Amino acid sequence: MITTRQASALHTRNSHTYRLDLLNESNAENLFCHWAFGQNFIPAWVEEPQVVKEVISECKGLPLALRVIGTSLSTSAGQSPATYWRVARDKLRDAKPLGEYHKDALLGRLRTSIDALDPMLQECFVDLGAYPEDSEWSTDALLDVWVYVRGMEWVDAVLALVELASRSLLDFPEIVTSVDIGHALESNRAGGLRFSQHDVMRDLALQLGAKDHPPSHRKRLVMPRRSKNIPSDWQSEEAAMAEVISIHTGGITEEQGWPTSLAFPHARMLFLQYFQDGFINNDLPPFLSSMCRLKVLFIRGAGLTMASSTFEGLFELQSLHVEGVDGVSCLSGTNLPKLEKLRLIEVDEIRTSLIHGLSQYLKVLEVDGLELEELPEKLGELRALTYISLSQCYQLINLPQSFGDLNNLHTLALYYCFSLSHLPTRFGLLVALKKLDMSWCKCLQDLPEDFGCLVSLEILILANCRSLKELPQCFGWLNNLKELDLSGCEKLKGLPGINVGQLGRLKKLDLSHCFGMEKLPESFGNLHGLEHLMMKDCTSLRHLPVSFGELRSLQYLSLDWCRRLQDLPVSFGQLSGLRTLKMRKLWTLKSLPAAILGRLVGGSLERVECNERLVPHWKALYPPSHPALPKFNGEVA
């Protein structure tokens, strides 16, 4: 099945075209009100409901227009006088009539949504047109443009992203939570967040960029679609004044070459997406050397190989993102004195000497999926670094001893570094480190003795570190730790004795699939802030500590498949805050001690998942028709 706004593309012998009708008056009103008022009808507090219906009518039943305009006019009681809706209606009436394929009229109507933005947000929206259609893009690539080209503060750029998304002017393919936004605000990067944009919204951005800036004052040069040819008007004197350049090409042939007259000395952002298509020229465009004011450079595509000379003269460059190219032979000796962010993603061939000569201002270093065995000692000299990602560097064996000198580092991603067996001995000097992800470091055998000195650490992920046998005794010093994931550490036999109870701020602990976990220390009950505990498939665990019931903040507990668990401690019934309890496949737990579990009756328990034969035992603990009876094994509330 293909969806398109160009019906002519489907005129083939075996195709059948189904043309979707516009929404009728009733459905259009329901959809608009859902986005504008959070309900499917016009609220009683609206002063002139007829004017709102006229606004809806101007959307001509087009779902995207109803959603986007409804979202942009979203309001609540007391916030929108009648004049608010009259102005919106009058602006919509100035648009052209709806054409055969809706496009022109839709863009005219959607322009109303952009007019509601402040000038800086309008510029941010128009910047979205630089990103090719039908694709997902790193949010970091967009935020860097707003920070380094538009001059926004990082926090303001993130909030602008959220604002545009809330108005349906861009989309997040995956659910983005307030936690994700919080991490982005704090870490100076958006992590794995990606964005996309409806084709119609991109067309609107392109139209606004062309309309507001005539050729003699064009700020942006954007190729609307993938093409093998550079537009002829890009070789004019007026085009040379552009600040944002976006090229989406299928490859420049050897015979054709890049136009020699192209030069963009005023460009501050270059977006180059390059796809190999037949026999092509593997060189980057020569006009790159003319971009002496360039701030942001994004390169994606196969068939390219870059040498240090590629970046000569880019003295103002602050963000460099290279993705999916065949090789970056060397950055050594390259003079990028202002570079703050370097991302090399899935580059096939690279040398470790790239670290030499990097800017002392470098804050973000991402070299994911590269064939690196080691990093040079000089890495420790980049002391402005706050974020490092070496994820999926499968051959990385160790980190340099100078790593401990990175005293501003707050996030380190080492997941899927299969060959990494040890951390450097001075690792504990990373006193600013807040998040460490080492999941799937399958060869990691131990943690350094000074690991407990990471006093700022809040999130530690060691999932599937299958060779890890024990944690150091100093582990309990991590008194700011909030999340700890040890799931899949199948050789880990226990937690460090008396010290683990000192993790008073720990809220989430995952011990799932720790097959070798034989017991929990008696100090475990001192984890008074623990809210979520996952112990699924701890197949060697026979008993819970006597102090277990002191986990008064515990809300979620999974004991599924703890098949050797023989009994529950008397204190278990003191878990008064427990809401979800999972205890399926507990083969050696023959019955439920009513004297213990009966104390949970009347508490917060909402859901229980257990062996079917134990459900009657649970229900027997509650009086008939008890209003607080929890739901069992998938029962619907």
Confidence of residue 479 (pLDDT cuts 50, 70, 90): very high
Question: Looking at the domain assignment, is residue 32 inside a domain?
Answer: yes
Question: Looking at the domain assignment, is residue 15 inside a domain?
Answer: no
Mean pLDDT, rounded, for 223-233: 79
Tell which of 115, 131, 146 closes a domain: 115
Mean pLDDT, rounded, for 388-406: 94
Q: Are residues 77 and 124 in the same domain?
A: no
Instruction: Report the SS3 class of residue 107.
Output: helix
Q: Are residues 108 and 146 in the same domain?
A: no
Distance (Å, whole) CA 305 – CA 347: 10
Q: What is the pLDDT of residue 94?
A: 53
Q: Are residues 104 and 192 in the same domain?
A: no
Question: Which helix (H) or strand (E) element contains residue 53?
Answer: helix 49-58
Q: What is the CATH number of the domain that holds 518?
A: 3.80.10.10
Q: What is the pLDDT of residue 637?
A: 47
Mean pLDDT, rounded, for 124-132: 92
Share above pLDDT 90 across residues of the chain, in percent, rounded to a whole number: 45
Question: Looking at the domain assignment, is residue 211 inside a domain?
Answer: no
Q: What is the pLDDT of residue 18?
A: 72
Q: What is the pLDDT of residue 371?
A: 82
Which residue carries 């298509």 as its tokens? Answer: 277
Q: Are residues 537 and 625 in the same domain?
A: yes
What single-letter amino acid sits at 81? P
Q: What is the pLDDT of residue 180?
A: 87
Domain count, the chain: 4
Instruction: Report the SS3 class of residue 364.
Output: strand
**pLDDT exceeds cutoff 60 at 484:** yes
**pLDDT exceeds cutoff 50 at 5:** no
Q: Are residues 110 and 125 in the same domain?
A: no
User: Is the Cβ–Cβ distance between 195 and 172 less than 8 Å?
Assistant: yes
Question: 598 or 473: whose pLDDT is higher?
Answer: 473
Residue 345, number of CB atoms within 10 A of its CB: 19
Mean pLDDT, rounded, for 306-319: 82
Q: What is the pLDDT of residue 512?
A: 97
Question: 118 or 283: whose pLDDT is higher?
Answer: 118
Q: What is the pLDDT of residue 239?
A: 87
Q: Are residues 479 and 615 in the same domain?
A: yes
pLDDT per position as a tens digit, 349-364: 665 556 666 788 999 9
Q: What is the pLDDT of residue 269?
A: 96
Tell which of 332, 349, 371 closes a domain: 371
- HSE value, Cβ hemisphere, 13 Å, CA-based, for 498: 0
**pLDDT exceeds cutoff 80 at 393:** yes
Q: Are residues 546 and 513 in the same domain?
A: yes
pLDDT per position as a tens digit, 96-111: 433 333 345 566 667 7
Question: 328 or 55: whose pLDDT is higher?
Answer: 55
Q: What is the CATH number of the domain that holds 303?
A: 3.80.10
Q: Are residues 290 and 274 in the same domain?
A: yes
**pLDDT exceeds cutoff 90 at 261:** no
Question: Looking at the domain assignment, is residue 425 inside a domain?
Answer: no
**pLDDT exceeds cutoff 60 at 217:** no
Tell which of 371, 402, 417 closes a domain: 371
**pLDDT exceeds cutoff 60 at 156:** yes
Q: Are residues 475 and 586 in the same domain?
A: yes
CA distances 94 to 204, 219, 325, Å, are: 16, 27, 47
Share above pLDDT 70 across residues of the chain, in percent, rounded to a whole number: 84
Mean pLDDT, rounded, for 235-245: 89
Among the listed ranges 52-66, 118-132, 229-243, 321-335, which one has the minimum average pLDDT value?
A: 321-335
**pLDDT exceeds cutoff 60 at 491:** yes
Mean pLDDT, rounded, for 264-280: 79
* Domain around 187: 119-202
Q: Are residues 88 and 172 in the same domain?
A: no
Q: Are residues 93 and 123 in the same domain?
A: no
Q: Are residues 161 and 27 in the same domain?
A: no
Question: Looking at the domain assignment, is residue 134 inside a domain?
Answer: yes
Question: Looking at the domain assignment, is residue 450 inside a domain?
Answer: no
Question: Looking at the domain assignment, is residue 323 inside a domain?
Answer: yes
Q: What is the pLDDT of residue 405?
A: 96
Q: What is the pLDDT of residue 429?
A: 97
Alpha helices in 188-329 (DSSP H): 199-212
Q: What is the pLDDT of residue 417?
A: 97
Q: What is the CATH number of the domain that holds 176?
A: 1.10.10.10
User: Is the Cβ–Cβ distance between 436 and 409 less than 8 Å?
Assistant: no
pLDDT per position as a tens digit, 519-572: 999 999 999 999 999 999 999 999 999 999 999 999 999 999 999 999 889 899
Q: What is the CATH number of the domain that holds 88?
A: 1.10.8
Question: Looking at the domain assignment, is residue 491 inside a domain?
Answer: yes
